[in-house]
Amino acid sequence: MKILHLIYSAAVSGAERYLQHLLPGLAGHGMECHLVVVTPKRTEEPFTIYVNEMNALGIKTTLVIAEKRSFILTAKKLKDYLKANDIKIVHSHLFNSDLIAAVLKMLFYRRVYLLSTKHGYQEKIYEQYEPGKKLRPNDMYWFITRFMLKRIDKNLAVSRAISNMYMDLGLTKTGYPFVHHGIKIEPFNKEDYREECRKADPQLIIVGRILPLKGHRFLIEAMVKVVEAFPGVKLLVLGEGSEKNHCIEKVNKLGLQKNIEFLGFKPHPYPFISHSDVIILPSAFEAFGLVYIEAFALKTPVVAFDTAAGNEIITNNETGLLVEKGNSKTLGDKIIYLLRNREERNKIAGVLH
């Protein structure tokens, strides 16, 4: 079976990393997977690296630089690619990819079968969303999403949380089937990275874009209490984002400069995670949260806010510790508890004695 995966993005993030795990796995089961990556001119450089990595994994990957504001031209290029390679199935990922696929089917290739994975929704909705609460934004994004859904043959979600969100938004009457992410982490010698990645004892880490939704500010507040209990502790912050300067200001205001280090974006964060004692994920909402299962695989215990979809992935007190959303005090208490109890850390991380 031939299938073309399509992703349009302006940043190499969770969905793009997921495809690096998924497509080689599908190829191993006999599926001929192609990937077309669409990105604006301004992000050509990082996606050139990404495309080269995918080709090195054995996935035929093509980079398309998006025509400014022209989904029609991009859809036509996609039609030409499908015809040239005799492909009749397109699996799209993310909003813009769905739009290109819908335009493709409507204008150029009516018989193509469209499959879409819902990796999330508009991020501003995450900040106001409460599971089970009906939302009707009725904005352009919502109407375009409804237009696309009518042309896609099969929709999937990455979590129950996203499936429920589409129902609560009135975009579907029944929940979409959901398939949780899986990952494959290539073995590496942990000790080779000790000097670079182990910066303190104990060491904490947070990985992800630095956005209000990700809750860095709550962790910084919690660190005041953690530092009182462990003066030599260090928190490594991996990632970039719009909230970074505010977070740095907060760190300086609280006098935590020696205990919190901002390392920027790291394309390969696994050695840093594996050399840390606890990973903290205080997000207000995650469509899935790839970092949760990366931490599981790397045997690093997780503390997270009790929110979707984290509480769908983590079993409290078994595979991680869940904390009331926005509660910095309890967050600090749980971190201190794990740092003081190695056996509990090992149990949660699944480390065998």
Please indicate whether the domains covering 2-168 and 190-349 agree at the CATH topology level.
Answer: yes
Fold of 2-168: Rossmann fold (3.40.50)
Contact present, 325 and 307 (Cβ < 8 Å): yes
Residue 343 has pLDDT above 90, yes or no: yes
pLDDT digits (tens, 9 = 90+) for 244-258: 999 999 999 999 999
- pLDDT, residue 353, reads 42
Task: Give me the numbers of helices (H) and strands (E) for the chain, helices first please.
Answer: 15, 12
The pLDDT value given to residue 139? 87
Spans of all domains in the chain = 2-168, 190-349
pLDDT over threshold 90, residue 137: no
CATH no., domain 190-349: 3.40.50.2000
Query: Average pLDDT of 13-38?
Result: 91
Amino acid 189: pLDDT: 95
Instruction: Give the pLDDT band (50/70/90) at residue 69.
Output: low
Residues 262-316 have pLDDT tens digits of 999 998 899 999 999 999 999 999 999 889 999 999 999 999 999 999 999 999 9
Strands 32-39 and 60-65, bridge-based pairing: parallel
**The pLDDT value given to residue 263:** 97
CA distance 222 to 327: 9
**What whole-number percentage of the chain has pLDDT above 90?**
82
Residue 130 has pLDDT above 90, yes or no: no
Residue type, 222: A
Strands (E), the chain: 2-8, 32-39, 60-65, 89-93, 113-118, 154-157, 203-207, 234-238, 260-264, 278-281, 302-305, 321-323
User: Taking phi first (over 0 means left), then psi (-120 to 50 degrees means alpha), and beta for anything else, what does residue 112 get?
Assistant: beta
